[in-house]
Amino acid sequence: MRCEICGAEIKGIAYEVVIDGARLVVCRKCAFKNPSSITGYVTPSRRISATKPPSRPRKPRVYHKPRIVEDIVDDYAERIREARENMGLTREVLATMVGEKVSTIRRIESGRLAPTIDLARKLERVLKIKLIEVYEEEEEVGTQEKREKFELTLGDIIEFKE
């Protein structure tokens, strides 16, 4: 448990105090600080035990989620060029059939431009070849492990007058 004013870990007894009508759980130092040093009035209203019963350490659970990945084959340029030539198509005709520019087809066949998944699907359909590889990749979704996070406290915002 942490003090809601200074952020220090509370060991032993925690105090519930009222500052301008707000109830806060604070450490002994902040509970008995001079009330004039804090904007508002501090009153220790009751003591709260800050110690927790010991708990069993748990192993963090890791969750895996399979993810389907589509990727273009490495030798796409050769496959496209060979299939186009075997079908007797020119670059201009192929470009018209898939709705792309001739320069795009030229750059794909030379290997300077990798086709998008959508364009690869169109080329697969027209040329009757395989350009897309589909495989599963396991992705770690998350763990149930508790991690200590930074928490903003009133002590980070309030300026104490000396």
- 161 in a domain, yes or no? no
Which residue's structure tokens are 């990749």?
137
The pLDDT value given to residue 136: 84
Q: In this structure, what CATH number is given to the domain that contains residue 123?
A: 1.10.260.40
Q: Per mean pLDDT, which of 28-37, 73-82, 136-145 is the most reliable?
A: 73-82
**In a shared domain, residues 51 and 71:** no
CA 91 to chain centre: 43
Integer Cα distance of 116 and 122 in angstroms = 10
Which residue's structure tokens are 């004039």?
36
Q: Using one digit for the tens of pLDDT, what is the confidence trace for 105-138?
A: 999 999 999 999 999 999 999 999 999 998 887 6
The structure's pTM equals: 0.47
**In a shared domain, residues 69 and 128:** yes
Structural domain for 34, as ranges:
1-55
Count the domains in the chain: 2
**In a shared domain, residues 72 and 132:** yes
Integer Cα distance of 95 and 23 in angstroms = 72
Q: From residue 44, give the alpha-carbon distance in Å to each of 47, 119, 161, 162.
A: 8, 71, 20, 21
- 146 in a domain, yes or no? no
**In a shared domain, residues 36 and 75:** no
Which residue's structure tokens are 């079908």?
87
Q: What's the average model confidence in pLDDT over 20-36?
A: 72
Q: Using one digit for the tens of pLDDT, what is the confidence trace for 48-106?
A: 555 555 566 766 766 667 788 889 999 999 999 999 999 999 999 999 999 999 999 99
**In a shared domain, residues 132 and 72:** yes
